[in-house]
Chains A and B, each alone.
Chain A
Amino acid sequence: MADARPWTGARFLAADDERALVRAARNDPDAFGELCRRYAPDLYRYLRLRVGNDEDAADLTQQVFVRALAALPRYRERGAPFGAWLFRIARNLVTDAYRRQRPAVSWDGMAEALHCPEADNPEIAALRREEASRLQTAVRHLRDDERELIALRFVAGLTLAEIAAVIGTSRSSVDRRIARILQSLKEYYHDH
């Protein structure tokens, strides 16, 4: 599989551009700030989907950057890509924040986040509503870890390699899991 760079959000980083910023970030606050600004929207969207409300999502997004600054000296370019590193911080923050309330953060609200885009044509609008409803049903059928992969790919816009770095597994494992998830979604989507 090719490792396509997603188009989502305001983040579209040329690889060289990002590498230069990452290399400079440790000693150049402005470079660090630029990276944070680029990733902020996708981090916020991921966290918003994860925690289900704007306030907590904003709080956690802020904390990601505070924690990233503290951890910046330990960041190694040869490890996870910078974006994946930020998402890993975000993921750990959510786990820490919710550990006291429940043993694991679920993705229960993820299906509800699926909406049909507006359409002027009533027929298309009806089709889209139907599509969103079937998709919600299909997504509810997924396990939490599967929903997270979908969120990282379709909402946060991470590449499969970045997702692998975020969740701490191999790229090929992510490839296989996403393929299985899509297959499962297809079956539910068409059967219900």
Chain B
Amino acid sequence: MTTSRCLHDAYGDLLSRGADPSDLEIVAALDRGFSPARTRIPPARVFTTIDQVVEAHRARLRRRWWRPAVPKLRQPLPLVLAVLVVLLLAGAGYRAVPLLERAFDGDQGAHYVMTEHLATPLDLSQTSNGYTLTLKGAYADANQVLLVLTLHGPDTIPPLAEFSIFPDTRLIDAGGAAISPDSGGNMSEGGVASVTYAITSPLDANTLHLHWVIPHLSYRLPADSGAPASDAAFHPVAGPFVFDFAVPVQPSRVAEPMETVMAGGEAVTLERVVVSPTAARFYLRSVAMSVTCAPSVDGWTLDEWRAAHPATDTSLGGLTVTQDGLAICSLPFPLMQATGQWTLRVEPGAPLSAGFQGVRRGGPWVFHFTLPAAR
């Protein structure tokens, strides 16, 4: 890179203003001077990590048919994951509570909402092209919004097997802020499905006024159920289905420990804890890797909870990293009643894929805090 022409080709954005020889000279000097830095070769482990990240991406796409592996946060709305919900229509119609209870057997937080009758009945229906989507009820706390819904097709088609709400749904609060989808919901023998949206910003309102838009959806028939869950197996229904409704926000327990723990040369700060009737979220700063969070309260541990509730789908929780680098550990358990000294143990998590060795280091980080009463 010594000729003037080469320099102009490479640095046309810097040199096009004129042919001042001193411009050429300084650019050429910088180009030559940095050429050793510019030709450094990354070590092989960088490319090994890329291969592992690609495999993790592949695994995530395989999982997404039933729930997002990486929920979106603070974005208008996800392109990520199709929300897949199985609907097996009840022949004789909808019977509220018993069916709802069965609908959430695997999700203890949502199950708690239903058994404690914390959801607000709505029964709002929207029909488009012969398909009726009914918003049966809604629930909100400081961690999430839970929407319960059913879908009925025209009489000319057999009962639907399942349906998918496309990922460009929009749930917007009264202030115009979008609330991001968190989970695709649970299957139900009663033709009931649920969708959850994650609340990750402090919530002051006692009531949420929400605007929910589902531009389109798709469904599968029972005959399609044995087929692979590909786009081709779904039948599209054009919308939009639009719902405006209000839902009271259930009390939650919130603490802001702002405690920093150094372990293994890495410092992590526990900024915020939100324990609601449906979930617990732990907000961690400076987490640069996959981690797992295990809370305990006065010696009681999450393992005991799991042993007592073997049907609980623990994979509903997970780690989300926001754009500003805040890592949010979510656990779908109703821990509202736990009293005493809390301990949160944060450990480097499972590898993103088999053999992943990339960025695990530091930890475990152990935090101690108390939670105030619900408000």
Please report A residues at the B interface, Cβ cutoff 8 Å.
1-4, 6-9, 26-27, 29-30, 32-33, 36-37, 40-41, 44-45, 48-49, 54, 58-59, 61-63, 65-74, 92-93, 96-97, 99-100, 113-117, 128, 131-132, 134-135, 150, 153-155, 157, 159-160, 178-179, 182, 185-186, 189-190
Contacts and interface: CB of A to CB of B under 8 A. Distances in A.
7 closest Cβ contacts across the A-B interface? A4-B12, A73-B80, A33-B54, A44-B42, A114-B33, A29-B57, A62-B49
Contacts, number: 172
B308 interface: no
Contacts of B12: 1-2, 4
Given A29-B55, A30-B54, A160-B13, A150 B30 contact: yes
Given A40-B47, A96-B286, A182-B23, A3 B37 contact: no
Interface residues of B, number: 61
B4 interface: no
A92 to B, nearest CB: 7
A2 B13 contact: yes
B13 A32 contact: no
Contact of B34 (A62, A67, A113): A113
B26 A117 contact: no
Nearest to A54: B43
Contacts of B54: 29-30, 32-33, 36
Contacts of B35: 117
B63 to A, nearest CB: 13
A66 B49 contact: yes
Nearest to A42: B38
B288 interface: yes
A74 B359 contact: no
A40 B42 contact: yes
A46 B26 CA distance: 21
A154 B30 contact: yes
For the residues of B in contact with A, the DSSP-based class is helix
A84 B79 CA distance: 21
Contact of B33 (A30, A37, A93, A132): A132
Contacts of A97: 288
A185 B37 contact: no
Contacts of B23: 182, 186
Given A6-B10, A113-B36, 10 more contacts: A1-B17, A41-B41, A65-B53, A69-B352, A71-B321, A93-B288, A96-B286, A113-B37, A114-B34, A114-B37
Given A40-B46, A74-B323, A132-B33, A178 B14 contact: yes
B255 interface: no
Contact of A8 (B36, B38, B75): B38
Contact of A65 (B32, B49, B73, B267): B49
Given A3-B13, A182-B27, A37 B321 contact: no
Interface string B14-27: 10110000110111
A114 B31 CA distance: 10
B9 interface: yes
B50 interface: yes
B358 A62 contact: yes
A96 B362 CA distance: 15
B10 A7 contact: yes
Contacts of B51: 33
Contacts of A59: 359
A62 B325 CA distance: 16
Contacts of B352: 66, 69
B36 A131 contact: no
A58 B34 contact: no
B321 A45 contact: no
A70 B37 contact: no
A131 B358 contact: no
Contacts of B30: 135, 150, 154, 185
Contacts of B53: 32-33, 36, 65-66, 68-69
Given A74-B72, A154-B30, A1 B13 contact: yes
B33 A135 contact: yes
Given A7-B9, A113-B34, A100 B267 contact: yes
A117 B49 contact: no
B321 A67 contact: yes
Contact of B50 (A36, A96, A135, A179): A36
A55 to B, nearest CB: 9
Given A62-B46, A74-B75, A92-B325, A45 B55 contact: no
Nearest to A174: B13
